[in-house]
Amino acid sequence: MAPPLYFNMITNFSRVVELQRKQLLTIILENAVWIILCIFVIINAFVTPKFLTLLNIRNILINASVLGIVVIAESLCLLSGHLDLSVESTLAFGAVIGALLLRNNLPVPVAIVSVLLSGVAVGFLNGLLVRKVGLNAFVATLITYIGVRGIALGIVEGKTIWNLPVSYCFLGAGTVFQIPVQILVLILLYVFFYWLLTSTKFGRHVYLIGDNPVAAWARGVNLDRVIISVFVISGFLSAFAGWMQSGRVNSATPNFATGMVFDAMASAIIGGVSLHGGVGSLPMALGGVLLLTSINNVLNLHAVSPYWIQTIRALMILLAVLLDSFKRRLVRYAG
Amino acid sequence: MQDDRVLLRMEHVSKSFGEVRALKDINMVVYNQEIVGLVGGNGAGKSTLIKIIAGLLRPDSGAIFFDGERINIENPRKAFELGIYTLHQRMEEMLAPHHSVSANIFLGNEKTKPLFKVLPWPRVLDKRKMDAYAMELLRSLSINIDSVKRPVVSYSGGQRQAVALAGVLYRKPKLLLLDEPTAALGIKEKFHLLNLIKRIGKEEKISIILVSHNLEEVFEVVDRIVVLRNGEIVGECRPCSASKEAVVSMIVGAKGGEPYAKNTQ
């Protein structure tokens, strides 16, 4: 019988088209940040003078690097289902510790190791407060958010330390073949942590714990070890970013990066990292960082009043969250 | 399909919650490769008994022997180490919804390979091997999943239950505790899962304790029925030699049941 067969073929064909359209939409939504970033760059290449110049792009990347590293730290915590508010305080604390030791004529390597260890210590404290004391991550890191900046303010009595050794500043201000070191480091860190999250057992456990901690626990995943490690890595990266920041401006002040935690969370959310944990990816978070930094850059080039930047950022986050919930619904009904 | 070796033996196990005596002097035996149905009304103590075996509750008194050794199941992890796994009514709560079927089956037990063949470290996830193994496992259980790479949220309730079951079977359990596994399922899915339970009991050589309200399905699947009432074992029978009416009367406590002699070897 020809008609039914013919009919069948048509319905099958339309189903395939339907499926492909859905898959295409999912792919677009999953890479929404990069697509939006591309559109943004293309539009501004015409609209904004001096936007698409090598110097300006270099400028954007340099401005993105410190925030970008903090976003890796924040994303790791968010993926495991935890908030880390203390990243910006750890950044300032690390910077101040390093500068203080250098001021007291300690060798550069000692200062660098101390900076990184101070970050590890803050992260470990966060991890202990969450897993061993049993505090909510928001509360635990709120304590260190306030306290650690307090210590940074206390040990230098609020003063800024200037004139750091050139070798210490290499990370933040040096260049290799005319490419700023901080951009190279940013790329390396993203590649490494992307690999860590997607290809290792540790990374998979970070995602699974964020998605359903009870399931992970019930199947014998060591929650204490994974979550404390996540906080330690977060602290380490934040202090590392502090070292970079102080090298860039050749000074260290306990008021470094005030409010950066909100930029970091905004970037991660714009990049599609879920606040509930378990969903999101680092390349998308990097897209969020670059988009946020480019927007700031364009507003600067157009000499828009900086007082409006916050509002625009809020709209960006709103858009990102709406896209995310749309994507979620699509995934659920795709089958 | 059982053999005569005793896998689990509970002697004089009691548990109270304040004034309420949830379990009174329970003596129970589960043989190797046996499917035992645990039935009883609300508050009969079925869940308490299961939770004690799974390590979620600790008994007030009594002894538990597993594989011939006296044991102390202080937490769920200890139960896993012994080979005792539980699947709940809402098994899907024990899955990571946004992760692939394969990731869920291997949750906590991921396969890895060395990143560089000559070095023992660092090791990376062997995704291809896990996907292939997961697909094979699901096929051998005749669980209908079209792609192990799709997230669990995109599958139906019954499929999720099956994935959770596959994840547990992969660990090669000795004793499987099923706490009303079909309660949240549709008729067709229920039928499929029951067949699956019956098959794995035989093929995978594991003992199963099935808790259920539904006598129909208990009679369908189990080798032996244990009836609980008010925290006590009031009778045991085999589905082939007892009628549903007799079991019902044991559950509600009316006369006319024909309890077997209690197993006390």
pLDDT tens-place string over residues A34-49: 888 998 899 988 888 8
- Domain ranges in chain A are 34-333
Closest of B148, B188, B25, B158 to residue B90, by C-alpha: B158
Amino acid B258: pLDDT: 46
Pick the CATH number of A34-333 from 1.10.3470, 2.60.40, 2.40.50, 1.25.40: 1.10.3470
Residues of A in contact with B167 (CB under 8 A): 219
What tens digit of pLDDT does each residue of A168-182 get? 998 888 888 988 999
How far apart, in whole angstroms, are the C-alpha atoms of residue B121 and residue B105? 25
Q: Which residues contact B163 (CB under 8 A, 6 or more apart)?
A: B95, B101, B104, B105, B138, B143, B145, B152, B155
Closest CA to B179 of B94, B75, B65, B250: B94
A133: confidence class by pLDDT, cuts 50, 70, 90: very high
Pick B153 or A207 by higher pLDDT.
A207
Give pLDDT, residue A192.
96
Task: Give the pLDDT of residue A146.
Answer: 94
Give the type of residue at B56: L
pLDDT of A1: 45
**Sheet with B69-71, side-by-side order of all strands:** B20-31, B6-17, B61-66, B69-71
Q: What is the pLDDT of residue B261?
A: 43
Distance from CA of A215 to the nearest CA of B (A): 4
Amino acid at A252: A
Distance CA B58, CA B204 (A): 29
With an 8 Å Cβ cutoff, is B158 touching chain A?
no
Q: Which residue has the tokens 């303010």?
A: A153
Q: How far apart are CA B102 and CA B152, in angstroms?
A: 9
Cα dihedral sign, B69-B74-B78-B80 = positive
* Chain A nearest-CA residue for B87: A218
Q: Is B13 exposed, middle or buried (0-12, 13-18, 19+ CB in 10 A)?
A: buried
Residue A257 has pLDDT above 70, yes or no: yes
Whether A239 shows a pLDDT value over 60: the answer reads: yes
Task: Determine whether the interchain pair A208/B122 forms a contact, defined as Cβ–Cβ distance below 8 Å.
Answer: no
Q: Does B155 touch chain A (CB under 8 A)?
A: yes
In chain B, % of residues over pLDDT 90: 18
Domains of chain B, each with CATH number or no CATH: 1-83+174-265 (3.40.50.300), 91-171 (no CATH)
DSSP designation for B151: B
> Which residue from B108, B112, B123 is facing A216, i.e. has the nearest CB?
B108
Chain segment A142-166, per-residue pLDDT in tens:
999 999 999 999 999 989 999 899 9
Q: pLDDT value at position A10?
A: 61
Number of A to B CB contacts under 8 A, please give it. 67
Mean pLDDT computed over A303-320: 80
Q: Which of B99, B103, B124 sits opposite A200 (nearest CB)?
A: B124
Minimum mean pLDDT range among A20-29, A291-300, B40-49, B63-72: A20-29
Beta strands in chain B (DSSP E): 6-17, 20-31, 35-40, 61-66, 69-71, 84-87, 112-114, 123-125, 175-179, 207-211, 224-229, 232-237
Tell me the whole-structure pTM to 2 decimals: 0.83
The predicted-structure confidence for B103-144, as pLDDT tens digits, reads as follows 999 988 888 889 888 888 788 988 989 999 899 888 877 788
